[in-house]
């Protein structure tokens, strides 16, 4: 029996406790994951385009090659997360906590952040093509 990744469109998983979950390559476009707990989750290649992840807990999560285009990640906790090669085009990152996150090769063109967004040491916001709001 083959185990296929879940496909959820416009699902509501706000506040869900999914710490350490394996959701590699899952399709969760436009899902509501407000304040969800995904600490240490394996989300490699996940599809979260247009999803609401406001205040989501994603510390130490594996999000390499994740599709987060147009995702709402305001005030999300992404400390120590692996976002290498992630697609964050046009995502909203206002107030997101990204200290210690791996953003190598991440696509951030058109993404929005503000002065409360915390970046990894040495991260160049200008070179990444981000829009800083409220500055």
Q: Is 127 inside a domain boundary?
A: no
- Whether 132 maps to a domain, the answer reads no
pLDDT digits (tens, 9 = 90+) for 41-73: 999 999 999 999 999 999 999 999 999 999 999
Query: In this structure, is residue 55 part of a structural domain?
Result: yes
Four-CA torsion 50, 10, 3, 62, nearest 10 degrees: 30
Residue 130 resides in a domain: no
- Say if 133 falls within a structural domain: no
Whether 102 maps to a domain, the answer reads yes
Residue 27: which domain range? 7-122
Confidence of residue 126 (pLDDT cuts 50, 70, 90): confident
Query: Are the C-beta atoms of residues 116 and 94 closer than 8 Å to each other?
Result: yes
Total domains in the fold of the chain: 1
Q: What is the pLDDT of residues 22-47, one digit of tens each?
A: 999 999 999 999 999 999 999 999 99
Distance from C-alpha of 7 to C-alpha of 11, rounded to nearest angstrom? 9
Supply the pTM of this predicted model.
0.88
Rounded CA-CA distance 49/100 in Å is 23
Cβ-based neighbour number of residue 125 at 10 Å: 15
| Domain containing residue 59: CATH number | 2.160.20.80
Taking the C-alpha atoms of residue 66 and residue 74, their distance in angstroms, rounded to an integer, is 17
């Amino acid at each position: 029996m083959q185990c296929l990744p879940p496909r959820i469109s416009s699902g509501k998983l706000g506040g869900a406790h999914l710490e350490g979950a394996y959701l590699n390559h899952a399709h969760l476009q436009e899902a509501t994951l407000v304040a969800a707990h995904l600490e240490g989750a394996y989300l490699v290649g996940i599809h979260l385009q247009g999803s609401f992840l406001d205040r989501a807990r994603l510390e130490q999560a594996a999000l390499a090659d994740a599709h987060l285009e147009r995702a709402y990640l305001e005030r999300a906790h992404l400390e120590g997360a692996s976002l290498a090669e992630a697609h964050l085009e046009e995502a909203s990152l206002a107030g997101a906590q990204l200290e210690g996150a791996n953003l190598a090769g991440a696509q951030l063109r058109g993404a929005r952040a503000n002065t409360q967004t915390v970046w990894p040491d040495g991260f160049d916001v200008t070179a990444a093509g981000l829009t800083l709001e409220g500055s």
